[in-house]
Amino acid sequence: MPRLLIVNCSPDALLQRVAAEGSRKYDALFMESIGRHVPQGQTLEHFTLNVVDGEGLPQGVQIGDFDGVWISGSPFNAYELDQPTVREQIELARAIWQSGVPTFGSCWGLQLMTAALGGTVHLNPRGREIGVARRIRPTPAGRGHALLRGKERTFDALCTHEDEVATLPPGATVLASNETSAVQAATISEGGRSFWGVQYHPEFDFAAVAAIIAIRVERHLDEGLARSREEVANIVADFRDLARDPARKDLAWRYGVGADVLDPKQRTAEFGNWLLAEVLPAAARR
């Protein structure tokens, strides 16, 4: 049975706030997402490590005992090295890389591994990207890479981030970009080590995005993303309605979204590609 390590990089207090606004916790979202792509007759085992809250692996368990590692999103910034948890997470990312276990990072996960391996992350000068990341385009390398197998030549994805990868570390390849971030998807490889990362969140559904918007109303107003609390509340309500009923044509038209974000199988394709290309082969070798 393939074993996954989920590295949760968000404080539980934040996840509780998100849950109070109608979202499930990130590990549950991830397991549901990747679970859509598990071959018939197989099951996945997983263990969640809440690194921000000081958890460590159980005695006798090592990173190398897993067949894949997923690194979640986070409210932290990879360049704020004065924060102990940022330094600790960077060291953990290096340890994961050295273990050789196939790893996937969503948003912060991509930024964290970038910082751990010698790249740089900065505050995005083009501003926050939240809700739906638009017009993500695979690069020539991305069109031939397994990470984006099944994705359209231009696609949208659910997202929330204010930082972006500025420079990638050695051994990295950009697989997708859009007008907001030059690195929307990338891989890093060295010898038998493999990392896949995306700046967006394939694990999110519209309820998760709605919850994140709901707890950050002031930020949206301060940054000019909305003009009033009522406007934010309407967006949150619409996203919750889309989560309950993705077939709402009126809302899909209003927000200009299609199957790439409304259909769960398409939205989570990156995880399925990683599972089939990296995790299951690793499990077979163990």
pLDDT at 286: 78
Per the annotation, the verdict on 145 as an active-site residue is: no
Is 201 in the active site?
Answer: yes
In tens digits, what is the pLDDT along the chain, a chain of 286 residues?
Answer: 899 999 999 999 999 999 999 999 999 999 999 999 999 999 999 999 999 998 999 999 999 999 999 999 999 999 999 999 999 999 999 999 999 999 999 999 999 999 999 999 999 999 999 999 999 999 999 999 999 999 999 999 999 999 999 999 999 999 999 999 999 999 999 999 999 999 999 999 999 999 999 999 998 899 898 899 999 999 999 999 999 999 999 999 999 999 999 999 999 999 999 999 999 999 998 7
CATH of domain 3-205+264-285: 3.40.50.880
Distance CA 207, CA 224 (A): 22
> What distance in Å separates the CA atoms of residue 214 and residue 104, rounded to the nearest whole number?
27
Q: Cβ neighbours of residue 130 under 8 Å, at least 6 residues apart?
A: 159, 160, 161, 209, 212, 213, 220, 225
Exactly one of 203, 220, 270, 278 is catalytic; which is it? Answer: 203
For the entire predicted model, the pTM comes to: 0.97
User: Which of these is catalytic: 107, 129, 145, 161?
Assistant: 107
Instruction: Check 201, 220, 270, 278 and give the catalytic one.
Output: 201
63: left (phi over 0), alpha (psi -120 to 50) or beta: alpha
* The predicted structure's pLDDT at residue 33: 98
Domain boundaries, the chain: 3-205+264-285, 207-255
Q: How far apart are the C-alpha atoms of 47 and 5, rounded to whole Å?
A: 5
Using CB atoms within 10 A of its CB, is residue 159 exposed (0-12), middle (13-18) or buried (19+)?
Answer: buried
